[in-house]
Amino acid sequence: MEAVKQINVGLLGLGTVGMGVVKIIDGHQEDLMKQTGNRIKVVKALVKDINKKRDWTRSEQLLTSDPWEILRDPEIDIIIEVMGNIEPTFDYLMYALKQGKHVVTANKDLIAMHGAELLAQAKESKCDLYFEESVAGGIPIIRALVEGFASDRITKLIGIVNGTTNYILSKMSEEGRPFEEMLVKAQELGYAEADPSSDIEGLDAARKMAILSNLAFHMEVHFDDVMLKGITQVTQEDIQFSKQLGYEIKLLGIAKLNDNQIEVSVQPTMINKEHPLAKVNGVFNAIYVYGEAVGETMFYGPGAGQLPTATAVVSDLVTVVKQMNLGVNGRGVIPPYRNKQLKSDDLIESSYFIRLKVVDEVGVLSLLTHPFADLRVSIQEVLQVPANEEGKAQLIIITHTTSKAQMNQLIEEINALDVVDHIYSIYPVEEGEAE
């Protein structure tokens, strides 16, 4: 009988996700053995403070506060990184890859910023670098993009990829309460951090969209390429009017490819309420994928949470171990092979929702629609309601498809009109049809 080879795992970070990883590896020993033929064991875990009280029944000797004890240990085959941050994490993982250790990471900030360098080093060292968990927690979307749609040409992705903002926006829509209140509720429930800016400003979603666009379009898309707007300006009035017109407001990541040029954005967007994405509520994530051949598909699941996240990490780990047994690590990586070309503003198209305050007098609508006609932006729908102010009215306009360049000019011209008091808000509108 052949001896069972043990695969030793070093864990960088033992917070919520790290504990979940240990729980799954220990709890599913038998299944993991069946699937890989190996015993998989976490042999060391990096923590900040060894003496901290934690729900940890295993030997204290597993814990270390010195990362080099793990990174330099020749017995450790695979590093699982769940400590977060860019530095010193990036240096640790580069070092690990250079030592020939495979890496599984849940760190989307790091992948969005240094993914290309890490992948290049992994390729050179013939090591695996997996990061399924970095986008949409429990949903195996990266695997689907890389393998499932390998033969298709993906032309559009629409994603709800941040659970915190989706929770806040769905609660605002359900309960009719303002942003600030729902943010506090999200913080109380542990869905939002004490400093929530990375979520509510859309940074987290933008990093994920950069990673997804990269894989979908085979271009090196960076965080800086993502047009970005957070949800802090979304008001209850915007939500009520959008509902009245048949839409929900969601923080959507949209990535589109047309004629080899791409656009990637993350911004609060009105989506047709019959679209499946409009019905994704709470902390759930969902990603719509349009492929030329396959048409529309959607992936839905938990975007965060200890066990969903840990599951994605351990599934990556299983893939690495299988590839170790086959001796084919580091070969599955296909670096981006297309030149990145970003669309200019005159090629980025959408319809828009515009809500503004105007002087309530005869002929206003006619004056207001002049710039639309001049710029050939056609109007789909107009709604006029009283404003909370004497002599003023609110106008809501939904346009047909127009370019971002034209929209910018239109807004400038509208703003210059004497009858226009204030532009409250502008949202792109997504009907969700394939392009």
Active site residues: 208
Tokens standing for residue 154: 């993906």
Work out how close the CB of 144 gets to a copy of itself at its nearest, in angstroms, rounded to a whole number: 5
Helix or strand run (H / E) with residue 297? strand 295-302
Q: β-strands 102-105, 78-81: how paired?
A: parallel
Answer yes or no: are the C-beta atoms of 356 and 424 closer than 8 Å: yes
Sequence letter at residue 84: G
Binding characters for a copy of itself, 324-363, by CB under 8 A (x = yes): --x-x--xx-x--x--------------------------
Report, in angstroms and rounded to the nearest whole number, the Rg of the chain calculated over CA atoms. Answer: 25
Q: Which is nearer to a copy of itself, 148 or 405 (CB)?
A: 148
- Whether residue 266 contacts residue 157, with contact meaning beta carbons closer than 8 Å, is answered with no
Other residues' Cβ atoms within 10 Å of the Cβ of residue 98? 13
364-373: b or e for each residue (b if 16 or more CB lie within 10 Å)? beebbeebbe
Nearer to a copy of itself, 178 or 276 (CB): 276
CB of 296 to a copy of itself, least distance (A): 7
What is the nearest approach in angstroms of a copy of itself to the Cβ of residue 48? 26
Query: Per-residue x/- mask for a copy of itself, residues 18 to 47, rule CB under 8 A?
Result: --x---xx--x--xx-xx------------
Binding of a copy of itself at residue 317 (CB under 8 A)?
Answer: yes
* 56 DSSP 8-state letter: -
Indicate whether 301 belongs to the interface with a copy of itself (CB under 8 A).
yes
C-alpha closest to that of 236 among 293, 173, 294: 173
Asked if 314 is part of the footprint of a copy of itself (rule: CB under 8 A), the reply reads yes
For a copy of itself, the closer CB: 143 or 243: 143
Contact status, residue 353 vs residue 396, Cβ threshold 8 Å? yes
Q: How far apart are CA 174 and CA 136, in angstroms?
A: 23
Give the nearest distance from C-beta 430 to a copy of itself in angstroms. Answer: 17
Could you tell me which stretch among 116-124, 201-209, 316-324, 375-383 binds a copy of itself (CB under 8 A)?
316-324
Closest distance to a copy of itself from the beta carbon of 143 (Å): 5
Among 258, 299, 340, 381, indicate the residue that binds a copy of itself (CB under 8 A): 299
Q: Which residue is associated with the tokens 């066990």?
A: 307
118-135 exposure pattern, b = at least 16 Cβ within 10 A, e = fewer = bbebbbebebbbbbbbbb
C-beta of 264 vs 320, nearer to a copy of itself? 320
Tokens of 183: 């943010």
Stretch that binds a copy of itself, among 205-213, 236-244, 263-271, 308-316 (CB under 8 A): 308-316
Q: How far is the CB of 171 from a copy of itself (least distance, A)?
A: 17
By CB under 8 A, the residues from 133 to 172 that bind a copy of itself are 138-140, 143-144, 147-153
Backbone angles phi, psi at 409, to 5 degrees: -70, -40
> Where on the chain is the footprint of a copy of itself (CB under 8 A)?
20, 24-25, 28, 31-32, 34-35, 132, 138-140, 143-144, 147-153, 218, 276, 279, 291-302, 305, 307-308, 310-312, 314-315, 317-319, 322, 326, 328, 331-332, 334, 337
